[in-house]
Amino acid sequence: MKVKVINGANLNMLGIREPQIYGAGTYDDLTRKIKMFANESGVEVSVFQSNHEGAIVDEIHKAYFEKFDAVIINPGAYTHSSIAILDALKAVNIPTVEVHLSDISKREEWRKHSYVSLYAEKVICGKGFDGYIEALLYLLDKNW
């Protein structure tokens, strides 16, 4: 199985930005955890992060052309605002799991709406870094 993990705006600031919400682990810690679990599970994983909406859209398109089996995405703040990311996911029609470190349903009212969840087949919130592992396990259980 080949999985593209896409992280959006401000995820590169993990460990610095609001650690009481997002935890003390850094973005490097997160990518290490994802890659270690993927390697142990026989999953080919590619991890990408950008603060730019268009770059995220481009990466979703690349996932299609590079024949990825699934996408795990944490769009960051673009969750609540990006129709372009939603449209890109719909265009490529790749199974997608949406992940959020915090539980967006228990935060500010405007954070409760996710455009990506209109497409994602599963949404995992509030589990920190372990949410990415849960997403990989979910995809592995789909029997690819």
Predicted local confidence at residue 109, as pLDDT: 74
The pLDDT value recorded for residue 107 is 66
pLDDT at 111: 65
**pTM of this prediction?**
0.93
Q: Which of 78, 100, 115, 132 is catalytic?
A: 100
**Residue 22 annotated among the catalytic residues of the structure:** yes
**Domains of the chain, start order:** 2-141 (3.40.50.9100)
Average pLDDT over every residue of 17-32: 87
Q: Whose structure tokens read 């890659």?
A: 35
For range 95-121, the mean pLDDT: 85
Mean local confidence (pLDDT), 40-58: 98
Q: Work out whether the CA dihedral 21, 110, 93, 140 comes out positive or negative.
A: positive
Catalytic residue list contains 100: yes
**What token pair was written down for 99?**
């992940």
Per-residue pLDDT at 112 = 67
